[in-house]
Amino acid sequence: MNKFLKKLMNINSKKQIPSNSTPSKAQEIEMKNISFETIKDEIKKIFGHTADLKADDILVGKSEAIIFYLDTVINTDFLKDMLGQTLESPVEQDIRITSVDELQAFGKKSFGVSGYKLIHTISEMTETILEGRIAVIIKGVPAALTISFINSEGRTVSEPTTQTVVRGPKDAFVEDISTNINLIRKRIKNHNLQFEKFKVGNETRTSVYIGSIKGIVNEKILEEVRKRIKDINISAVFESANIEELIQDKSATVFPLALNTERPDSVSSALLDGKIAIITDGTPFILLVPAVLTDFFISSEDNYQNYFMSSFIRMIRYLSFMIGLLMPSAYVGVLTFHPELLPTTLLLSVIAQREGVPFPAVIEVFIMEITFEILREAGVRMPRAVGQTVSIVGALVIGQAAAEAGIISNIMVIIVAITAIANFVFPNYSFANASRLIRFVLIIVASILGLYGVLLVLIFMVAHLSSLRSFGVPYLAPVAPFIVEDQKDIFIRTPIWFQNKRPAYLSPTTLDKQKPQGSPSPPKQSKGGSGD
């Protein structure tokens, strides 16, 4: 069987197309080597019979020309107005373009602010047309002029849907990559903030940007991120999750090794700490790397509240993680193997409630947990107008009816409800999913080995977390290895004026975040009192 799988994988690997594969020879032909009519035929041949490819014959002054564009991608109204005034205006009727230099001078004069550029091969022209640009080909000139007229229509900036806050900015990323970069630059007005562009996906050619701050980011980590993105070999990329799965350290784990967020303030703060942002076109979720375990317990709102309150809420998150992870398995383990751990009064109350329940504790827990998971998914997938109502009413009705019918006990309803609520406390949804999966493993082990099995799984989980790396950074940093200076914003949040250093586990180029400063002291009162 193993030999068959290896042979199958070898066959598939031979059929793979490299991500940086060169286009066909026809696409690589330079325009200076073919005639005007051949260029038109090549472009039409490459795009086939697609209905949205337009090829219009025009006059640029006295020169014959043709423009290629996809009318479903560009802003056709803007195109007609601008080209009508520029390419075919009476002022320009006397010009004749016969060389590349004249074409460049014309582009600079007419489209200097529109991001024009010259291209010299068929492959470049194909790519620019797909990007939402128009290509102007003038007869007798061995180059083409391309101008951007992309249709910028899309979802407007609105409030976050998965990472809401009570106090703080209310804007969130959208599907347009230019808008997302603008939201970051609005917060970080620093010339050292740099973005590198990549094309990922053999078929989709999705734009992916790497954002970092020069002079802060660790150059070795940045180079590793750059290398992994260049090495991606996949046919299509539609969401940042595809990038995350392809660049994370090769480890079989349920824990996310990259932090995703739709909040511009979270990305800006992470960039200033020395992290790297990976921005994918077509998705509002930005990846932040390297990511460590404690990042998933920190919310951007922590910096907008009093540090005492932020520290208290953060401790609640850690407590909620343990409750959501352990409560159902602890219930199964105690009732099945260790009832002596419960106080007598509580034990008698639980036994009385379970009297008449036909299932053992583990089956009871699985019935409720799976039912709740079904209700959760139904609430997400159903139309928004009825989804929340169905999930809430369904949980109440089904839970009460099952308890009254004697299928489950009332204590079981309480435990599952507390577990579910605790699981929603996490600021990051992907980390909550990891907790959900591990909870089922703990329940199964608790039904076989009791609390000893639960403890054994926790030991293996901690050992597994210790072995994980995110772009070379230990996943449990700065707890293991323990870094004293980084503890100022891990389990509790110290005052902002006390956080003078960037996270040392990221090994930033510049460790100092701000000059040491103390809390402002109250003004000294004059000796003569307020009347003097």
Closest C-alpha among 30, 78, 79 to residue 58: 79
Residue 358 zone, left/alpha/beta (φ > 0; ψ -120 to 50; rest): alpha
Instruction: pLDDT band for 1, please (50, 70, 90 cuts).
Output: very low
Rg from Cα positions in the chain: 30
Give yes or no for residue 343 having a pLDDT over 70: yes
DSSP per position, 317-352: HHHHHHHHHHHHHHHHHHHHH-GGGS-HHHHHHHHH
Supply the pLDDT for residue 5. 41
Contact 273, 193 (CB under 8 A): no
Instruction: pLDDT band for 86, please (50, 70, 90 cuts).
Output: low
DSSP per position, 202-214: TTT-EEEEEEEET
Residue 251 zone, left/alpha/beta (φ > 0; ψ -120 to 50; rest): beta
Contact 261, 286 (CB under 8 A): yes
Contact 476, 466 (CB under 8 A): yes
Q: Which residue carries 């602010």 as its tokens?
A: 113
Instruction: Give the pLDDT confidence of 222-276 residue by residue, as tens digits.
Output: 999 999 999 999 999 999 999 999 999 877 899 999 999 999 999 999 999 999 9
Closest C-alpha among 409, 415, 449 to residue 324: 415
DSSP per position, 215-258: TTS-HHHHHHHHHHHHT---S---SHHHHHHHHS-S---SS-SS
Instruction: Give the pLDDT confidence of 449-480 residue by residue, as tens digits.
Output: 999 999 999 999 999 999 999 999 999 999 98
Instruction: pLDDT band for 17, please (50, 70, 90 cuts).
Output: very low
User: Which residues does 103 contact at the CB level (< 8 Å), separation at least 6?
Assistant: 97, 118, 138, 141, 143, 145
Give yes or no for residue 318 having a pLDDT over 80: yes
Instruction: Give the pLDDT confidence of 264-289 residue by residue, as tens digits.
Output: 999 999 999 999 999 999 999 999 99
Question: Which H or E run contains 354?
Answer: helix 344-354
Q: Determine the angle formed by the axes of helices 451-467 and 307-337, rounding to 10 degrees.
A: 140
Q: Which residues are registered as beta bridge partners of 60?
A: 63
User: Which residues does 25 contact at the CB level (< 8 Å), separation at least 6?
Assistant: none
Give the chain's length: 532
What single DSSP character describes residue 153? Answer: -
Supply the pLDDT for residue 426. 83
Q: How far apart are CA 301 and CA 292, in angstroms?
A: 19
Supply the pLDDT for residue 388. 62
- Going through 81-157 in order, the beta strands assigned E by DSSP cover 117-119, 133-138, 144-148
Q: Which of 4-8, 240-244, 338-342 has the lowest mean pLDDT?
A: 4-8
Model pTM? 0.84
Supply the pLDDT for residue 11. 41
Whether the ω angle into residue 23 lies within 30 degrees of 0, i.e. cis, is no
Which range, 22-36, 256-270, 509-523, is most confident? 256-270
Q: How far apart are CA 382 and CA 391, in angstroms?
A: 10
SS3 55: strand
Supply the pLDDT for residue 174. 93
The alpha-helical segments, DSSP class H, found in 162-217 are 177-187
**Type of residue numbered 237:** V
The residues spanned by each domain of the chain are 25-148, 177-291, 304-474
Q: Which of 169-178, 196-205, 518-527 has the lowest mean pLDDT?
A: 518-527
Supply the pLDDT for residue 26. 41
Kindly state the average pLDDT of the residues 176-184.
Answer: 92
CA atoms within 13 A of residue 468's CA, in its CB half-sphere: 23
Average pLDDT, the chain: 84
Whether the ω angle into residue 383 lies within 30 degrees of 0, i.e. cis, is no
